[in-house]
Amino acid sequence: MASQIRLLQEGGLDLSKIAILVRTNLMAQQIIEGFNQCAPDIRLVSEEAFLLEASTSVQMIVAALRLLIDKSHKDGISEKYLMLHYLRDVLGQNTTLQDIALRNAEEVLPEEFTAHREELLQLPLYLLAEKLWYIFSLGEIKGEDVYVLTFFDELQNHLRSAGVPDIQTFLTAWDEKLHQRSVPGSAVAGVRILTIHKSKGLEFHTVLLPFCHWDIEKDRQGEMLWCETDKVPYNELGALPISIYSKDVRSSVFAPNYEEEHLERRVDALNTLYVAFTRAKANLYIWGKTKPYDKEKDKNVTTAAELIYRSLRSDDNDTDEECFSFEKGTPLTTSNSPLKGENSRNEVSPSRADLEGSVNRLRIEHREKDAIDVRVITRNPMLYFLQSNQAEEYLNEIQRSPFPAPPLGESPIVDTSPLKSTPPKGERGGGYLSQREIGKRMHEVLSRINDVGQLEEVLRKAREEGVIGEGDDWQAITERIKQGFQSPLVASWFSAGNTVYNECGIASIDDDGLPCVLRPDRVVIHGNDITVIDYKFGHPSKLYKEQVGNYMDCLRKMYPEHNVKGYIWYIMGKGAVEVKSEKVKG
């Protein structure tokens, strides 16, 4: 096979236009190992065999992530792996595992990693991976940029799909499946090697098909087939596992099941052969093993090689006892010149694409010497905070508010009057939670309460989970929520007999006719009454009323027979304020 590839190269065929098709990944690995030993000058590119886990750079990033979350220092393997390859592949030192075993990570790995683990853990995962790439100077490892770029693509895809984008979740996904993701074959120049199954829908100028002697319908010892029959008494047993390796099954009551199974095997084998044969545009080479044909003894075809051999052989061409060879046509290269026998009757006509390429003077030939080296350039990744317009308006509104929040730990105010106390001058933003943070925590607690009977349990769990903090923080937030529940109106929203929807999206159409999603904090349905409530923690605003009014209009359209009311609950100040809205959107 290597000799044939070299012959095609000499004729002007680029390696990237050649593909080797195999049945399994194991065969691909065997071929790669064989070429590495016997033909190292021919580069193979495999979507199955060139996996992300083969990259030292990628494995070092993964090992560093493991060390960051290893608080108990139990992962010695990742630590030694990172130390070994940092010294050997990045710094270029000739070191051994014995040398690494006698040294600790602090004296080998970069100080920016060992002394700043807690700071690194605060970074978003994608930014953290970039930072590790920068810290360990992984750009010094040559020839792995394609692997690293593919790794970051997979990391980004994981972050989009993962419910919890933390380090442990990613490492679990890496161990389960991501480590087996392969580098795209088109990203690396060379002969492509892939399975026949993966080649469906693709085409190549030249296809090499080794090991073309897979079984078509050979029974293997230990194979079982689940069979059913309507013959008495076996019909009463239901499905039975029957060994199809035994010849007795062919004459048993389960013979129809056996024949059906073998028919499906023959069809699958022929389909596989068809896919492999139809991937080539110009040249197709096949290698396989079979035994000499004996008309008297060999009645059945058991392998793909036997099928091809018996279909092509004749007494005239089957003269070599060791090897059967059949050729049809003359191999073509991109130069459209046959390698031999230009006047052969069986010459394969050049493809239309090849003919167009030979006459198109504007076509530029891609030569290796003209190729541009694409590399990953490392830089120290930075995290920039860009504030949204809504967040900016919210913070500005708080600053303008005549109702500043008191420091946590002081006595809360009643829900019908503005806040009176303020933090000591010069201490706002220091030891006190911001009004925004207070609102965020109280909002989370309220979203967990369906009825007032759950209040104490929800507050207890929120404290255990750290949602509302400890000490004065917990005491102040708890008292404010409890005092709000003293209002009969507020308490009615949290009655046990209500149907409650917390932060549920409502599909709607905005004033411009575009689709949008409305998300009120709480919708309560009790009999024929619907109440929509929005929690607010800042200064009263006309925008809040318009927002709740939109919620009410949408609910009136959804429930035209119901009585819809809306409230804004200013938890930090004015208490519950009813919103009047009579408009119904058409």
Rounded to two decimals, the pTM is 0.42
Q: Worst-scoring range by mean pLDDT, 270-274, 508-512, 581-585? A: 581-585
pLDDT class of 398 with cuts at 50, 70, 90: low
Is 347 part of any domain?
A: no
Say if residue 550's pLDDT is above 70.
Answer: yes
Beta-carbon contacts of residue 538 (< 8 Å; ≥ 6 apart): 394, 397, 398, 401, 403, 435, 439, 572
Residue 502 CB-density burial (10 A; 0-12 exposed, 13-18 middle, 19+ buried): middle
Say if residue 152's pLDDT is above 50.
Answer: yes
- The predicted pLDDT at position 173 comes to 92
Are both 198 and 326 inside the same structural domain?
yes
Say if residue 291's pLDDT is above 50.
Answer: yes
CA–CA gap between residue 158 and residue 268 (Å, rounded) = 35
**Domain endpoint, select from 338, 363, 382:** 338
- The predicted pLDDT at position 135 comes to 93
**Residue corresponding to tokens 């091809």:** 308
Is 143 part of any domain?
A: yes
CB of 399 closer than 8 Å to CB of 393? no
CA–CA gap between residue 138 and residue 122 (Å, rounded) = 22
The model's pLDDT over 320-373, given as tens digits with 9 standing for 90+, comes to 667 778 888 788 876 455 555 443 333 334 444 444 444 343 334 445 555 556
What's 299's domain CATH number?
A: 3.40.50.300
Is 585 part of any domain?
A: no
* Kind plus residue range of the DSSP H or E element containing 241: strand 240-243
With CA atoms as reference, report the closest residue to 287 among 11, 585, 34, 567: 34
Domain region containing 501? 492-579
CB of 435 closer than 8 Å to CB of 573? no
- The predicted pLDDT at position 208 comes to 94
Are both 60 and 74 inside the same structural domain?
yes
Is 359 part of any domain?
A: no
Are both 281 and 311 inside the same structural domain?
yes
Is 239 part of any domain?
A: no
CB of 483 closer than 8 Å to CB of 412? yes
- The number of CA neighbours under 13 Å toward the Cβ of 85 is 20
* φ, ψ of residue 475 in degrees (nearest 5): -65, -45
Q: Worst-scoring range by mean pLDDT, 36-45, 158-167, 333-342, 560-569? A: 333-342
With CA atoms as reference, report the closest residue to 144 among 113, 177, 188: 188
CA–CA gap between residue 20 and residue 285 (Å, rounded) = 9
Task: DSSP letter for 234, please.
Answer: G
CA–CA gap between residue 443 and residue 25 (Å, rounded) = 53
Count of domains in the chain? 4
Span between the terminal Cα atoms of the chain, in Å: 73
With CA atoms as reference, report the closest residue to 225 among 202, 205, 201, 250: 250
Are both 195 and 158 inside the same structural domain?
no
% pLDDT > 90, the chain: 18
Structure token pair of residue 439: 């609102």
Cα angle 534, 537, 540; round to 5: 80
Is 241 part of any domain?
A: no
Structure token pair of residue 144: 């792995």
Peptide bond into 233 cis (omega under 30): yes
The model's pLDDT over 448-482, given as tens digits with 9 standing for 90+, comes to 888 888 888 888 888 777 766 666 666 777 777 78
CA–CA gap between residue 104 and residue 143 (Å, rounded) = 29
CA–CA gap between residue 6 and residue 328 (Å, rounded) = 20
Q: Is 495 helix (H, G, I), strand (E, B) or coil?
A: coil
What's 508's domain CATH number?
A: 3.90.320.10
Are both 174 and 200 inside the same structural domain?
no
Taking the CA atoms of 530, 531, 534 and 539 in sequence, report the sign of the dihedral they define: positive
Q: Which long-range contacts (CB under 8 A, 24 or more apart) does 220-223 make?
A: 220/245, 221/245
Are both 59 and 150 inside the same structural domain?
yes
Is 360 part of any domain?
A: no
Are both 191 and 328 inside the same structural domain?
yes
Are both 212 and 285 inside the same structural domain?
yes
Are both 18 and 94 inside the same structural domain?
no
CA–CA gap between residue 27 and residue 195 (Å, rounded) = 9
Say if residue 239's pLDDT is above 90.
Answer: no
CB of 19 closer than 8 Å to CB of 191? yes
Are both 215 and 315 inside the same structural domain?
yes
Is 302 part of any domain?
A: yes
Beta-carbon contacts of residue 155 (< 8 Å; ≥ 6 apart): 125, 126, 129, 170
Are both 177 and 71 inside the same structural domain?
yes
Are both 177 and 56 inside the same structural domain?
yes
CB of 481 closer than 8 Å to CB of 494? no
